[in-house]
Structure formats: C-alpha cells, structure tokens
Amino acid sequence: MVTLNLHHLRLFHAVARDGTLTGAARGLNLSQSAVSTQIKALEASLGQPLFERRGRNLVLTEAGRIALDHAEAIFRTSEDLAATLRETRGTRRALRVGALATLSRNFQIAFLRPLLGREEVEVVLRSGAQADLLRGLDALSLDVVLTNLVPARDAASPYLVQRLSEQSVSLIGTPARAGPASLAEHLSRAPLILPTPESALRAGFDALIERLGIVPTIAAEADDMAMMRLLAREDAGLAVIPPIVVKDELASGTLVEVARLDDIREVFCAVTLQRRYPNPLLGTLFKAHGASRDAAAAGSPAGAQL
C-alpha cells in the first residue's frame, strides 16, 4: 500500500496552483531545490509524473490532474474534521448560514426558529450573491446556503439540495383595481409590477403571458419584494407577488388578491455540501421542516424580501 506524505501533497498543491517552482517556493518560504526534491519524492511514491515542463511553467499531466482533485478532497476533509472537533470542545455549537440577499426574511426566520433561543446554539447569518455563498460553502465557512435559486447539478456536483418550502404567487393590487374581470383581462389592461427578468418568478410569469397571448404593460420591475409591496400600495399597478409578502396589507384591506396565478410557485431550498462530518444542527432543522431532496437540475434566482 502506498503511504502518502501529506507535506509532499501540500507542496504539490502549491506548485500546481502557481504553475512554477519558483513562485510556489517563494510562497512557501522554501528553497526551490527543496520543493523540487519533495515533488520528485511524491512522484516516486505514486509511480507517475505529475508535471511536464513547458518553457518556464510546469503543467499538470493527466495523473497530476487526478492527484490535484484528490489532494483538494483530502484537504477539505481534514479541515472539516478539525472544524467539527473544535466545535465539540465547547458547550456551544455554531451554525453558519448563508442566505441569498433577496431571499424572504420571513422564510429565513421560519427555517431557523427551531434553534433560536437555545442557549447552547449560536446562529451566524451571512447574506450575499449566490456565487459568493457557494464559494463559502465550498470553503467550509458556511454550513448551509438558503436560496430560491437551485444550483445546477450533475454527476460531479458536490451539492445536496433540500426542498424546504414553496409558496403561491398572486396578482395583488389596491381594491380599486380588483374589478370583475378574468385573469387575462387584468393582465392585458392593468399596468403591472413585475420581478426582474432574471428571477424564477418572472420566468414563470413570462411563460404564462406567452400561453395567453398577452403583451403586458409594465409599470415597474424590481428585484426586491419589499419595493414591489410599496409600489403596489402606491397603486402603481398590479403586482405579481407571493401573498405572504403583503400579508399585513391583505389583512387590513389596503391590498387585495385580484387573482391567483396557480401555475407559478416560488420554491425555497437549502444547499449543503457533501461532508464527512455534517453539522448536526442541520439535521434538527431539516427534520423540523420535513425537507426532501430536490432532484431539480437547474433553476433561476428569484427575489423575495419580506
């Protein structure tokens, strides 16, 4: 059985990332000859050349690319183990949560509620763009990402996607706009307040009006549901929005549900990484929400801010 020297593997990783012995040695604060010697020792133990020289640069061989993939998996596992064991030394446990910046605040609180108020639990919340959050997940600085944008998945994807909840979408406006008319008549006659074109809600809406053969009048577009709510309250038009966003206005009668858009749903998901030592607090939350694995392979972002 081949016994790998993890120190050699880290030097190999540094050279593979830099592309030169000189740069990698400088970053490691080692001599170039020392790095070269230890890379050769790793190649000897594996029985394969890991680099080929092209000019002044070192380029990974096929064996080198395979070794790099495995090296990064090994380093992630070791960091995961260290982080998990650090957390078990204290009486308090931390859950690091990333959430899409436009995601419903009400949904986030509902998801985290089973842990809120527990003295032994610290919840760390971060918001941002989906790409930044997934990078945090990859780097193990986040335990879970909450989103309504399902990341693309294939056989090589490291992500696990749990479907947590979904909510209906309606046409919402002031009572003055809620006259007796069909859905098609409302959509063709009234000015509309819509999510921005890159959102999942907008994609569903665009498909709906395509089926109905309607060319809508767009009064406003917004990626922030709170702004859409305000625009609807100002009677700028009928808003395509989940009723939960305007639940207080619906209760008071300031706004009314003009029509239900049954073909459009907003789905909330939790994205986690395949980890040898997952944070056990996630199991508590998933069990509370009865989450199921979402087999969807792709999705689009949707703005939902409550």
- In angstroms, the CA 118 to CA 154 distance is 37
Question: For 237, left (φ over 0), alpha (ψ -120 to 50), or beta?
Answer: left
pLDDT (0 to 100) of residue 268: 87
Residues (pLDDT < 70) of the chain are 1-2, 80, 83-92, 153-156, 291-306
pLDDT (0 to 100) of residue 296: 37
Statement to judge: residues 161 and 272 lie in one domain: yes
Element (H, E) at 26: helix 21-28
pLDDT (0 to 100) of residue 88: 55
Distance of CA 59 to the CA centre of its chain: 33
User: For the segment 163-177, what is each residue's pLDDT rounded down to a tens digit?
Assistant: 888 888 999 999 999
Q: Measured at the alpha carbon of residue 283, what is the angle toward residues 142 and 165, in degrees to the nearest 5?
A: 85
pTM of the model: 0.59
Question: Residue 106: CB partners within 8 Å, gap ≥ 6?
Answer: 244, 306
In eight-state DSSP terms, residue 273 is: E
Q: Taking the chain, what is the end-to-end CA distance rounded to the nearest angstrom? A: 57
Statement to judge: residues 151 and 278 lie in one domain: yes
Q: What is the CATH number of the domain that holds 250?
A: 3.40.190.10
Statement to judge: residues 105 and 160 lie in one domain: yes
Q: Give me the residues paired with residue 161 across strands.
A: 271
pLDDT (0 to 100) of residue 295: 38
Query: Structurally, how many domains does the chain consist of?
Result: 3
Statement to judge: residues 161 and 105 lie in one domain: yes
Structural domain harbouring 193: 167-266
Statement to judge: residues 255 and 176 lie in one domain: yes
Is residue 302 domain-resident?
no
Closest of 107, 113, 115, 114 to residue 148, by C-alpha: 107
Q: Which of 24, 56, 85 is the last residue of a domain?
A: 85
Element (H, E) at 34: helix 32-46
Is residue 1 domain-resident?
no
Contact 43, 102 (CB under 8 A): no
Statement to judge: residues 173 and 248 lie in one domain: yes
Statement to judge: residues 136 and 275 lie in one domain: yes
Report percent pLDDT > 90 for the chain: 42
Statement to judge: residues 219 and 260 lie in one domain: yes
Residue ranges with strand state E in the chain:
51-54, 57-60, 93-100, 121-128, 144-147, 159-173, 191-195, 217-222, 238-241, 256-273, 292-293
Contact 15, 21 (CB under 8 A): yes
Give backbone dihedrals phi and psi of 263, rounded to 5 degrees, phi first.
Answer: -85, -5
Statement to judge: residues 156 and 279 lie in one domain: yes
Residue spans of alpha helices (H) in 89-150: 105-112, 130-138
Q: Tell me the three state secondary structure of residue 90.
A: coil
In eight-state DSSP terms, residue 235 is: T
pLDDT (0 to 100) of residue 270: 94
Question: Residue 47: CB partners within 8 Å, gap ≥ 6?
Answer: none
- In angstroms, the CA 66 to CA 9 distance is 13
